[in-house]
Amino acid sequence: TPVSYDYVIVGAGTSGLVIANRLSELSNVTVAVIEAGDSVYNNVNVSSTTGYGLAFGTEIDWAYQTTNQSFGGDVVQTMRAGKAIGGTSTINGMAYTRAEDIQIDAWEALGNAGWSWEVLFPYYKKSQQLQVPTEAQAAAGVTYDAADNGFNGPLKVGWNPALNVGDVHTVLNETYAALGVQWNEDVNSGRMVGYNRYPSHIDVALNVREDAGRAYYYPIANRTNLHLYPNTLAHRMTWDTTAQIPTANGVVVQAVNSTTPYTISANKEVILSAGALASPLLLELSGVGNPAILSKYNISTVVDLPTVGENLQDQTNTGLAIDTADNTSYSGTSDYVAYPTAADIFGSEITNISATVLAALPSYAATVAAASGNVTKASDLLSFFKIQHELIFSTTHPVPIAEVLLTPSGTAVDCEYWALLPFARGNIHITSATPGVPAAINPNYYMLDWDVTGQIQVAKFIREIFATAPFAGLLGTETKPGFDVVPQNATTAQWQAWNNGVYRSNFHPVATAAMMPKEVGGVVDTSLKVYGTANVRVIDASVLPFQVCGHLVSTLYAVAERAADLIKSEM
């Protein structure tokens, strides 16, 4: 029997389930959600609140592979993403940190009217239900500002019951202050710089991960106007051939246990929420993209939009480790985060570095444009890069430039870190007209000097943290990389050689269907509608035009909440 709904959403992930929930609040609207994965409600690799990584490599991890990273050590990297009801929020690190206010304002400066911090801030709060810290956690340094948090939204946010409540926090706080990184009362206020004990997306009472399924889907799963198709792969959109402007009227899908594709019809809109590494591919498989790529696979062009899949921005993640002094052992989750500025980590070199990077921007733009076959324009990239340079090097209000996570665990302290704002941009494209065939994903890690310098300078800064009192008193010998591998006075080349062998994707891909004016290479407009189509939207990490300094889900929930209101306002 033919099936049809008003709105067909592809991807029951972080963003898609927000849209499904908010649209199906209207009882006269019918909604379908197509999801390749299954329910993970009872999967302990998901629900465990101390089990980060348990789901990696299992059937709920897409484990996408990049192309060979020729600037980044000639290696292939794995880009993880969740394949389940709840999407990547079911396998991620659960960190809940937002963005710097001025970097959301930069979306508006780019030409996206109506997308500013002031507009998005209420949507962060709308999605959030803060569970306040326990007395013991408050005594161990956890703070928050009630004015910056939501208390009535679907998404439970709070501090892990296993949080380390010992005195490491006090020691770290003094150490960071000695390095100029001050305590930040609430990292989610739009001002991220400083040291903080960040919250997670977690159901504190049940002590389970609060993923998008638990927050936005299971509580309303019995709505009769909402139908979720699990274990079902979306292949492509279908088009109304009688319409003047390309109008999607359905999605071809196939259940995993079947060999027969069928079509789920859309009366009003198709919404792609398959993630930054899947939504652009669905556009291409449906004939929306670069004709030069589509024709290679005999896909007829429905909308000529060459920047589909371009502008891919990710970060890279590296780790240092050091033994504790006297084999002292630590337990519990840590959630000690520092967001230093460029001035914090470059010290007296800051003015030189700022000038050097500024002077290099035209060549960065030319390099990135050339790597896309000039589909993205060097002049447009240069204007984006100037905005990014100003965010990083502003002398009055800089954004943070790195995330530093210290985790005392057993008799070691692990320290994961990543530079937040590389300039490199890559792309993702189909390699076949057959749905499900792996794509060519190229983030171009370490393509530009700044991307290398930034990552290495954070490592040097972490060595300073290790060497600064009072934290230094808790520590023994550095084991990763260790001074035998990377000496104290190592050159950039020595650091880079080590880094190339140990780095990974930071799993924060964005911008592959960026919200920007069409003239500068945007794929969606400010209502997240795909240019040249009447009724196709992309609502997921693909649309963020710039990387943000926080982890992604809080911002994605906020963007999806606002997008749902925009769709409703057009009904």
Tell me, by CB under 6 A, how many residues bind ligand FAD: 39
- Where residue 57 falls (left for φ over 0; alpha for ψ -120 to 50; beta otherwise) is left
Any contact of residue 495 with ligand FAD (CB under 6 A)? no
Residue 496's φ and ψ, nearest 5 degrees, are: -65, -40
Q: Which burial class, exposed, middle or buried, applies to 200 when counting CB atoms under 10 A from its CB (0-12, 13-18, 19+)?
A: buried
E strand or H helix that includes residue 417: strand 412-419
Find the part of the chain contacting ligand FAD (CB under 6 A) among 418-426, 491-499, 522-530, 551-559. 551-559
Please select the residue that binds ligand FAD; options are 23, 40, 81, 559, rule is CB under 6 A. 81
SS3 51: coil
Residue 510's φ and ψ, nearest 5 degrees, are: -140, 170
Any contact of residue 24 with ligand FAD (CB under 6 A)? no
Any contact of residue 420 with ligand FAD (CB under 6 A)? no
Any contact of residue 194 with ligand FAD (CB under 6 A)? no
Any contact of residue 80 with ligand FAD (CB under 6 A)? yes
Handedness of CA 140, 143, 149, 151 (dihedral sign): positive
**Contact positions with ligand FAD (CB under 6 A) in 211-230:** none
**Contact positions with ligand FAD (CB under 6 A) in 272-331:** 273-276, 278
Q: Which burial class, exposed, middle or buried, applies to 417 when counting CB atoms under 10 A from its CB (0-12, 13-18, 19+)?
A: buried
Which residues are known to be catalytic? Answer: 508, 551
Please select the residue that binds ligand FAD; options are 6, 14, 248, 413, rule is CB under 6 A. 14
Amino acid in the structure at residue 277: L
Any contact of residue 89 with ligand FAD (CB under 6 A)? yes
CB of 435 to ligand FAD, least distance (A): 6
Any contact of residue 128 with ligand FAD (CB under 6 A)? no
Query: Using CA atoms, how far apart are residues 403 and 248, in angstroms rounded to an integer?
Result: 41
Query: Using CA atoms, how far apart are residues 278 and 365, in angstroms rounded to an integer?
Result: 26
CB of 57 to ligand FAD, least distance (A): 11
**Contact positions with ligand FAD (CB under 6 A) in 25-64:** 34-37
Contacts of 170 (CB under 8 A, 6+ apart): 141
Residue 374: how many CB atoms within 10 A of its CB? 11
Please select the residue that binds ligand FAD; options are 9, 15, 173, 332, rule is CB under 6 A. 15
The sheet carrying 208-209 orders its strands as 128-130, 155-158, 200-203, 208-209
CB of 526 to ligand FAD, least distance (A): 18
Residue number, 193 or 556, with CB nearest to ligand FAD: 556
Any contact of residue 540 with ligand FAD (CB under 6 A)? yes
Query: Using CA atoms, how far apart are residues 444 and 69, in angstroms rounded to an integer?
Result: 6
Any contact of residue 127 with ligand FAD (CB under 6 A)? no
Any contact of residue 160 with ligand FAD (CB under 6 A)? no
CB of 211 to ligand FAD, least distance (A): 9
- End-to-end Cα distance, the chain: 27
Residue 310: how many CB atoms within 10 A of its CB? 27
Any contact of residue 553 with ligand FAD (CB under 6 A)? yes
Does residue 510 contact residue 547 with C-beta atoms inside 8 Å? yes
Please select the residue that binds ligand FAD; options are 7, 13, 20, 164, rule is CB under 6 A. 13
Please select the residue that binds ligand FAD; options are 8, 20, 46, 95, rule is CB under 6 A. 95
Does residue 537 contact residue 530 with C-beta atoms inside 8 Å? yes
Does residue 208 contact residue 214 with C-beta atoms inside 8 Å? yes
Any contact of residue 93 with ligand FAD (CB under 6 A)? yes
CB of 456 to ligand FAD, least distance (A): 23
Amino acid in the structure at residue 79: M
Any contact of residue 521 with ligand FAD (CB under 6 A)? no
Please select the residue that binds ligand FAD; options are 233, 343, 514, 563, rule is CB under 6 A. 233
Residues of this chain that interact with ligand FAD (CB under 6 A) are: 10-15, 34-37, 80-84, 87-89, 91-95, 233-234, 273-276, 278, 507-508, 540-541, 551-554, 556
